[in-house]
Structure 1
């Protein structure tokens, strides 16, 4: 019988980035390895430098609170989805807004893009998944998925699939290129909040309002493991750059770091044992820069930690 060696990790607090005057809901990688974009209820988008631990000379003000942002470096544009359903497209070179899309009638919870399809995808609180063209920056297709919210989108390029998390507890899986329906299954007892494929494309990780982390086998999408991971809703799941670890963020104010092979809990980051968030943790990014794990939350803070295996 194979013996699995337990992994040990070291988590080092680096900095707290302050400047937002409201909850931080949105975050994405910036224009270089060591920068990140953030946005939130204060309607501002900021760009942070993880090297200097300061804000860069960039900011954008939108007319409504921001729930999601998506940086597309290949196009040098930034997309921001708001509580009113609008999607603002910013040209980062010209530093100006070039278009506003208003095809959702409720908040936009997630935006993802795919160079393989030359499209970006938006998830709405109106139950719609929208597909937009990179070339025209306009709507191509709108797909009604539920009477509840569409919360999260992720791609599996190994199987050419797109998975979507819904507020009605379901996960839907479509063909990435045709959007033909492939699979649907009830993933959580309460709303499904986040979908994240493992980098090797073999597993789908989902987090729900029921505080469970569920791991599904890609293909038949049978449940491999269900973990009561948090005390409150799970809002985000991210893998580290070499895919040996992943982290979960929750409304319970904690971040947890897991072994990506065994799903063993390795570290629990809370106010009791770390410099940590005092309110809900909404978003995570695991940067290639020094393996920094960056988190954003309702406490208006953006926190930076270095995570290394020992």
Structure 2
């Protein structure tokens, strides 16, 4: 393997230490300039049998990796087949309430339906089971349930997939999860933000509104996959749209500064604006609406008002001051009562048939205000919140139980417990969550008051967990009671990796400031003393691994360096050939001979954010910028090796890690804020 290159990445601007953004980070994340797979042909890999190295190229830059002396016959032309093992999605932790609406429904089976990342989740809370619709290839933004309560429509944003990467609507069966129809490929712009089935004609038609500048409303015969009509909606954001349940071919949409009534006639749609008279305070946003049993329309707005619009009219007939601040959700009950969910006041009001409040419920501050209300069976109520949680309560009670919790900002930190079915995630939202992988629930959640979290790692004994923060601090928590064990500061940039040595006697803290800080660890992970600082990288450190004997480190950096270090004195080992036969306790580096085949055609060296070798050494998983988790046979020594790809994330996959028994793989998404649990089959 190569010694430190003498220059930075080709084309990279010379910059102060640590100023280059980490691949996939908020500063240089998914939307940073990058090459796409297959876009630019790269130089072919080279093999030198005399010196025993393989050389691949990233953006024209050579990366030389030395083979073990007993590697045997090798050819860069040979093909490496995908592994027999595959991944099956077992659980999705999270709900997208932060920036999506009307996205929580219940089926007659008792399954609640919602989405996170590119997955639509059918979650049976009572049985603690999940099923997953996996047809999408990027963020799902909206869902609607057909009047038959079996068929579901879901709309997505523009994605990476070559064939179905444009915004579209998928119609699918909630029983067998088969896709029935795909609508609008090439028609919608940016994203589909609203969908809704017609009701008067038993759901023959589907409306959809995209996220283009004009927010075009279109009406489809979804079974024939035929567009019937379309029209520009509004230059301002649209947040909700539905067919009227009693007036045939009439639709309603609302959003910033507008409420529109639509009529479909002879394959044309005509719109009429709702009129806010002077005696009524016109809101900045009409945020939600529902229909009464007599056909009246009820709207909730950013001023906390509920306006009632008589059936067939575009004028307000009654006004109710309901909440302090925004009203995010209105839901009509079968008995004529209705619910309203407020933002600023975190209240859920239950109104009787005379539109008077009879019950007021207050949501916990920790899980955030209401985003979407969903009545369940009998007196049950589910509440999706703006902090990506789903709460379960009783309309007559005062206690809400969180059935789903999630991070609310980019998630980079992932650590799997060394001997229990537990794993930990931490994110830029300053939350650290310990999860039970068997029960699929959080054991505890701790808020780090000052520091967004970047990385995590369990001590080999599992008693403590180290956290790297974005501020230059790192700390250690007791894994059971969350007590703070120690806090240290090294530099003032984020610590991208924290990693204990296999024997637990060292902790390496790899920083965005180009250094690796080494600490001696004693007292079962409760005492730390600084050994020194590994200095030699010319860019931020992206990945590190310890040798099996805990004596050495290997590291990768943002400019494709592969460097080696002696842990006891933090000295760089200049001879890469002297390390060619070292046994590595883990392999999470993305550059090195054992992983030289993970890079596909056109890769630019930043497309793969994370890698993890299974404990058995049989397979290797990678997480990339395109929302995919890729499974390879290990070692991955043949260039452009065959692999099994799995999608579910809609953002850059920031971390992947196997469970201690290799039966599961855990993954985290960056901007999709999700964590997924996969079964290795």
TM-score above 0.5, yes or no? yes
Structure 1 runs (4+) deviating above 6 angstroms are 3-6, 202-205
Render the CA deviation track for 1:73-131: whole Å, top value 9, x for unaligned.
52722211111110022123443113211122211011111254722110111111111
1:288 aligns with 2:660: yes
Q: 8 Å contact 1:130–1:143 — kept in the other structure?
A: yes
Distance 2:616 2:409 in 1: 33
Q: 1:44 to 1:159 in 2, by over 3 A?
A: closer
Q: 2:539 aligns with which of 148, 171, 175?
A: 148
Q: 1:288 to 1:79 in 2, by over 3 A?
A: closer
SS of 2:493's equivalent in the other structure is coil
Cα root mean square deviation, aligned: 3.3
Residue 38 (structure 1) shift: 0.3
Q: 8 Å contact 2:531–2:570 — kept in the other structure?
A: no
Q: 8 Å contact 2:456–2:467 — kept in the other structure?
A: yes
| Counterpart position of 1:47 | 434
Q: Give runs of aligned pairs for residues 227-238 of structure 1, distance below 5 A.
A: 227-228=599-600, 233-238=607-612
| Counterpart position of 1:220 | none
Q: Give runs of aligned pairs for residues 250-265 of structure 1, distance below 5 A.
A: 250-261=624-635, 264-265=641-642
Q: 1:56 to 1:149 in 2, by over 3 A?
A: same
Residue 307 (structure 1) shift: 1.4
- Structure 1 residue runs without a partner (length 5+): 186-196, 208-213, 218-222, 271-275
Q: 1:184 to 1:250 in 2, by over 3 A?
A: farther
- TM-score, with length taken from structure 2: 0.38
Distance 2:629 2:432 in 1: 23
Distance 2:462 2:664 in 1: 25
Residue 289 (structure 1) shift: 4.9
1:125 aligns with 2:497: no
Q: 8 Å contact 2:427–2:453 — kept in the other structure?
A: yes
Render the CA deviation track for 1:278-300: whole Å, top value 9, x for unaligned.
11100011113561111001211
Q: 1:225 to 1:202 in 2, by over 3 A?
A: farther
Tell me which protein shows more strand as a share of its residues.
1
Q: 8 Å contact 1:234–1:251 — kept in the other structure?
A: yes
Q: Give runs of aligned pairs for residues 39-188 of structure 1, distance below 5 A.
A: 39-74=426-461, 76-114=463-501, 116=503, 118-135=505-522, 136-157=527-548, 160-183=551-574
| Counterpart position of 2:409 | 22
Distance 2:81 2:625 in 1: 31
Distance 1:68 1:171 in 2: 21
Distance 2:547 2:418 in 1: 24
Q: 8 Å contact 1:172–1:184 — kept in the other structure?
A: no
Q: 1:53 to 1:128 in 2, by over 3 A?
A: same
Paired positions, count? 281
Q: 8 Å contact 1:20–1:301 — kept in the other structure?
A: yes
Q: 1:266 aligns with which of 643, 646, 658?
A: 643
SS of 2:559's equivalent in the other structure is coil
Q: 1:34 to 1:198 in 2, by over 3 A?
A: farther
- Structure 2 residue runs without a partner (length 5+): 1-72, 74-78, 95-405
Deviation larger for 233-242 or 113-122: 113-122
Distance 2:598 2:675 in 1: 29
Q: 8 Å contact 1:109–1:151 — kept in the other structure?
A: yes
Render the CA deviation track for 1:4-53: whole Å, top value 9, x for unaligned.
98742332211101211111101001374311000011111101111111
Q: 1:183 to 1:203 in 2, by over 3 A?
A: farther
Distance 1:199 1:144 in 2: 21
- Whose radius of gyration is greater, 1 or 2? 2
Q: 2:650 aligns with which of 278, 281, 301?
A: 278
Render the CA deviation track for 1:255-306: whole Å, top value 9, x for unaligned.
1101114654231112xxxxx0011100011113561111001211111111
Bigger RCO (CA 8 Å, 6+ sep)? 1
Q: 8 Å contact 1:171–1:184 — kept in the other structure?
A: no
| Counterpart position of 1:188 | none
Distance 2:521 2:668 in 1: 28
Q: 8 Å contact 2:626–2:650 — kept in the other structure?
A: no
Distance 2:573 2:596 in 1: 19
Residue 239 (structure 1) shift: 1.5
| Counterpart position of 2:89 | 13
Q: 8 Å contact 1:256–1:265 — kept in the other structure?
A: no
| Counterpart position of 2:423 | 36
